[in-house]
Amino acid sequence: MEQAPEEELWLIADGSDLRKPYAEAMPYLMPVRDLDEQLVPGYRTLNVIGLTPGRRGLLYHRLFSSQAPDFVSEPAEVQRALQTVSQALTRLKVHKTVTWLLDSGFDDIAVWRTIWEQQEHVIARLYHTDRKVTFQDRQGQWIEGDIAQATAALRPLARVETSLQVKRGEQVRPKQQPVPVDLAACPLRVTYWTNVRRKGQGKLVTREVWLVIGRSPMPPVPCASLPCTANAGVWRTVSNFSKPVWVGKKCKCWICGASAP
């Protein structure tokens, strides 16, 4: 990763289950869900992959169990992962911009707070649309409400295009084909206490971020904390996905075909 010429480094964090349905003697087995949503013995894992357009690598892997004597909580495991990876990337952050790409399981102020304190950025898919925020309407006024209400203030930003193996319209089978995505965004202010799930005295902080939504079929309502000047910061969010995301030996998915406004 340090040798990669690109100035951007993306970190994808994901939790998953390691299923051991027939295990009986393995230590500290815990209940996890199988593909049919039934409980089976197994473990939880937390993984972080580092990506640039030309390189990829596993930066963090931890297997844990709620039955282990040293287990605290899954949020504590997430905090450990965020801090461990950030410390390992200290030298790279001098000349690279680090951005975390997170699914809705990480829709958590404590997660975002730690990333921001580490001078890193976050793009997170939202789950809690009832989260209280202040958003800017189309007339430029700041209004108190929640994420669901803020979506009414979104304004069109750009159209980008990705190639996905999908079934569209009346097609009988999925096939690899271009899929356009319309992006809209609006500024948000998120206010939180810095001592969320942390001992000691905290302070109330307000952070300006962007609410971004992609319609069909991009994951809905990601929240981007990249520094913004007008639409430039939102565009930087999009440009993170305009370069290939490498999975395995081939470039599986990307968004391309648009230029910065």
**What's the pLDDT at 1?**
65
Residue 38 has a pLDDT of: 95
Confidence (pLDDT) at 178: 82
Cα separation values, 192 from 9, 212, 232, Å: 27, 20, 25
Indicate the domain borders of the chain: 1-102, 126-261
CA distances from 148 to 104, 109, 185, 213 (A): 15, 17, 13, 12
The C-alpha R_g of the chain, in whole angstroms, comes to 20
Range 224-236 burial, b when 16+ CB lie within 10 A, else e = bbbebeebebbbb
* Per-residue model confidence (pLDDT) at position 167: 79
Structural element, H or E, at residue 144:
strand 142-146
**CA–CA distance, 71 with 58 (Å, rounded to integer):** 23
What is the spatial distance between Cα 216 and Cα 229, in angstroms, rounded to a whole number? 27
Residue 85 has a pLDDT of 97
- The confidence score (pLDDT) of residue 221 equals 43
Give CA separation, 100 vs 114, 152, 216, in Å. 11, 26, 23
> pLDDT tens per residue, the chain (261 residues)?
666 667 889 999 999 999 999 998 999 999 999 999 999 999 999 999 999 888 899 999 999 999 999 999 999 999 999 999 999 999 999 888 899 988 888 999 999 999 999 999 888 888 888 989 999 999 999 999 998 899 899 888 888 777 778 777 788 898 888 877 787 888 889 999 999 989 899 999 999 888 888 776 433 344 555 444 334 444 444 444 433 222 222 222 222 212 222
Give the per-residue pLDDT at 209: 87
Predicted local confidence at residue 60, as pLDDT: 98
Which pLDDT score, from 0 to 100, does residue 170 have?
81
